[in-house]
Amino acid sequence: MPQITVTTRSGEKHVLEAAVNQTLMEVIRDSSIDGMDAICGGCCSCATCHIYVDPDFVDQLPPVSEDEEILLDGSNHRKPEVSRLSCQIRVSDSLNGLVLQIAPED
Amino acid sequence: MTNFATADFFTDTSLIENPFPYFEYLRSQGPIARLPHRNVLAVTGYAEALEILNDPQTFSSANAATGPIPDLPFEPEGDDITEQLNAHRDEMIATGLVVAKDGKEHANHRSLMMNLFTPTRLKSNEEYMWTLADTLLDSFVDRGHCDLIAEYATPFATLVIADLLGIPENDRITFCEKLGPPPGAVGGEVDYMDAQVLGMSFLFEYFGQYLAERREQSKGDILSQFAQAKFPDGSTPSVDDLVWISAFLFGAGQDTTARLLGACLRVFCENPELQKQVRNDRSLIPAFIDEVVRYEGPVKCASRLAVKTTTVAGVEIKAGTTISLLYGACNRDPREFEAPTEIRLNRPNARKHLGFGRGVHTCAGMPLAKAEVTASLNRILDRMTDIKLSEEHHGKPGNQRFTYEPIYTLRALKNLFIEFTSVR
C-alpha cells in the first residue's frame, strides 16, 4: 500500500497507509488527523481540503482542472505550483512516498 | 403541553411546528441522550455528531432513510452486528439508495456523484436558473402575494434538477404529479412508509430508458455522464446502479432545496433589518444561506446504526442502537456556535454547520442547492420589496403560526404565505 506523509497545521507529521484509488482527502479524513474539514465531501465545490504538495511530486499529479483552479483561486493561502485540492487526487502506486502539508484554513 | 420526558419524537405531532424546545430539553440531558422509545440515542452535541459521522466503520448508514422505523429485521446479538446486518440488509427499506450504503459499495456509488455540480457546470446553468426564476415570478408577482413554497420553490427546484439531469420536458410534469412526500412521516404506519420510499419506483422505468439511450449516444447532460461513467477501479456500473442514483438525485434534491428557500424567506420576514441588509449587499447571500441552514436547516434528523459497541463522550453505545443525529440541535450547540439562536452573517465558523451532513455521506447536492437558493434570493429581492408574512395565514406578529410537514426527518415548511410590493 502506498505511504504518504502528512504534516498538520500544528506541524505534526503522520505517515499514513493509502489505499489505491482513494482520494488523498479521503485518506486524510479517514485517519484521525485533525484539521481537514472537507466540508463538501469531495464534490470539488469548496476548498477546505487544500494541501501543499512537496515540489518533487508535483509532476506526478493529474493536471489542475478548471474547477479546481477556480476554487484554489478563491483561497487566501494559495501557493504557486504546490497548492492542490486533495479530493481531486487519487492515490496510485506512483505516489508512494508522497509528502504533503495541510494548508491553513481560509 | 407535551411531556418531553416521555415524548416519542417519531410519532408526536406536537413536536413538528417548533421542535427546538424539545431539542433543548434533550441537550439538558447531555449531548447524547437516551430516548424512551425504540432503542434510540439522540445526539444534540456538535462534536459528538462529528465523531459519529466520521466513524462509518462503527456507525452504519443502513438505516439512514428512516431511522428506527421500521424495527430492524433481526434481533441484534453481541457487540458486533456487522455480519448480522450484512445478512439482513436486503430486508431493510431503501437500502438501494446511496445514502443507505456503506464501505466500498458506497464509495463506488458516491464516486459517480462527485464533480457533478462543480463551479463550471453551475455557471453554465446559471442563466437557465435566472430565466426560470423570472418565468415563475412573472406568474404571480403583480398580485403582491403568494404561497412561496407551492408557487415558486417547489416548481423551481424540480425544474432545475430535471433540466440538469436531462429529463425530457414532457415527462417533467408527470414526475411532479407522481412524486409523493419524502419518507419519515410522523405517526405513519410501516407499510405506508415503505410505500413512500417505493413511491419513487415509477422513476426507475423512465430512468432505465433514458440511461439506455445515453449509453448509445451522449446528450451532454448528467444522465449522459452517468451512462458513460466508470467506478474508480475502472469497472462499469450496472444500469440498475445508475437508475438508483439518478432517481435518488431527482427525488432527494428538490424537496430539501425548496424548503431551504422557504426557511430563508421566513427568516427574512421575521428579521426586516436583515432583509434590508442582504437586499443592499448581495455578496452577503452565501453567508446568509449557510446561517439559515445552520439555524433552520431542512434536515432535522439523520440516522445511523451502531454496528459495534463503543463509547462516545462517555456514553456507552451498544451495537444495534439507532443513533438519531438531530442536526437542528447540533447546529445550535452553544459549545460550538456562540449565541446559536442569532443569525450572524459574520460567524467565523458558519460554514461548519452539519446541515448538509459531514464525512463520507456529505450531501453531494450542496453546491447545487446553494446555487439555486442564491439565484432565487437574488431575483426575489430584485422583484419584491418589503416582503412580509401574510397575517391572514400566519397570524399577527408575536403570535405567528407555521405549518410544517409532519415528518421527523425533515424540517419542511408546508407553505409560506408572503405579501410584498412588486417591483416593475
Q: Domains for chain A: give ranges and CATH numbers.
A: 3-102 (3.10.20.30)
What is the rounded end-to-end Cα distance, in angstroms, of chain A? 32
* CA distances, A62 to each of A57, A68, A88, B41 (Å): 11, 11, 8, 44
> What's CA B388's distance to the chain center, in Å?
26
Q: How sure is the predictor about A6, in pLDDT bands with cuts at 50, 70 and 90?
A: very high
Write the pLDDT tens digit of every residue in B217-239.
998 888 999 899 999 888 999 88
Written as nine digits, the cell of B32 is 447524547
pLDDT score recorded for residue B191: 47
The answer to whether residue B57 neighbours chain A at the CB level (below 8 Å) is no
In chain B, whose CA is at the least distance from the CA of A20? B233
Give the containing element (helix H, strand E) for B55: none
Q: How far is A92 from chain B (nearest CA, A)?
A: 11
Question: Could you say which residues of chain B have pLDDT below 50?
Answer: 188-196
Q: Is B116 on the interface with A (CB under 8 A)?
A: yes
> Is residue A44 less than 8 Å (CB to CB) from chain B?
yes
The reported pLDDT for the residue numbered B178 is 72
Whether the per-residue pLDDT at A34 is higher than 90: the answer is no
| Closest among A93, A106, A49 to B114, alpha carbons compared | A49
Question: Under an 8 A CB cutoff, do B232 and A90 touch?
Answer: yes
Does B351 reach chain A within 8 Å, measured CB to CB? yes
Which of A22, A39, A41 comes nearest B351 by C-beta? A39
B145-147 sheet: strands from edge to edge: B145-147, B417-422, B384-389
Nine cell digits for residue B229: 461513467
Residue among B50, B104, B120, B372 with most chain A CBs within 10 A, to mutate: B120
A64 CB within 8 Å of a chain B CB: no
Does the beta carbon of B286 lie under 8 angstroms from any beta carbon of chain A?
no
pLDDT for the residue B193? 46
pLDDT tens for A48-84 read: 999 999 999 999 999 999 999 999 999 999 999 999 9
pLDDT digits (tens, 9 = 90+) for B76-91: 999 999 999 999 999 9
Instruction: Sort out which chain B residues have CB atoms less than 8 A from A90's CB and list them.
Output: 232
Please check the confidence at residue A27 and state whether its pLDDT lies above 70: yes
- Integer Cα distance of B147 and B153 in angstroms: 9
Quick: pLDDT tens for B324-346.
999 999 999 999 999 999 999 99
Nearest by CB to A43, from B114, B232, B358: name it.
Answer: B114
> In angstroms, rounded to a whole number, what is the distance separating the alpha carbons of residues B388 and B335?
33
B353 close contact with A: CB closer than 8 A: no
Whether B360 and A39 lie within 8 Å, measured CB to CB:
no
Q: How far is B418 from chain A (nearest CA, A)?
A: 32
Of B54, B120, B362, the CB nearest to A67: B120
Chain A positions touching B361 (Cβ under 8 A) are 41
Instruction: Identify the pLDDT of residue B195.
Output: 47
pLDDT at B330: 98
Residues of B within 8 A of A39 (CB-CB) are 351-352, 356, 358, 362
Q: Could you state, in order of their start, the residue ranges of all structural domains in chain B?
A: 13-422
Contact status of A33 with chain B (Cβ, < 8 Å):
no
User: β-strands B40-43, A83-85: how paired?
Assistant: unpaired
Please tell me the predicted confidence (pLDDT) of residue B190: 45
> What fold, for B13-422?
Cytochrome p450 (1.10.630)
Mean pLDDT taken over chain B: 91
| Burial annotation B189-227 (CB, 10 A radius, 16+ → b, else e) | eeeebbebbebbeebeebbbebbeebeeeeeebbbbbbb
Of B262, B253, B309, B297, give the one whose Cα is nearest residue B411: B297
B340 touches chain A (CB under 8 A): no
**Residues A91, B382: Cα–Cα separation, whole Å:** 47
Q: Parallel, antiparallel, or unpaired for β B322-325 and B315-317?
A: unpaired
CB contact under 8 A, B118 and A87: no
**Helix B154-165 with B366-383: angle, nearest 10 deg:** 130
Instruction: Kindly determine whether residue B119 and residue A21, on different chains, have CB atoms separated by under 8 Å.
Output: no
Rounded to whole angstroms, the Cα distance separating B379 from B389 reads 18
Query: What single letter denotes the amino acid at residue B371?
Result: A
**Contact call for A44 and B115, based on CB within 8 A:** yes
List C-alpha distances in Å: B31 to A96, A102, B350: 41, 30, 20
Share of chain A above pLDDT 70, in %: 100
Q: What's the pLDDT score for residue B320?
A: 98
Which backbone phi and psi does B338 adopt, to 5 degrees?
Answer: -60, 140
Tell me whether residues B119 and A71 touch, CB distance under 8 A. Answer: yes
Considering only CB atoms, which chain A residues are within 8 Å of B356?
A: 39
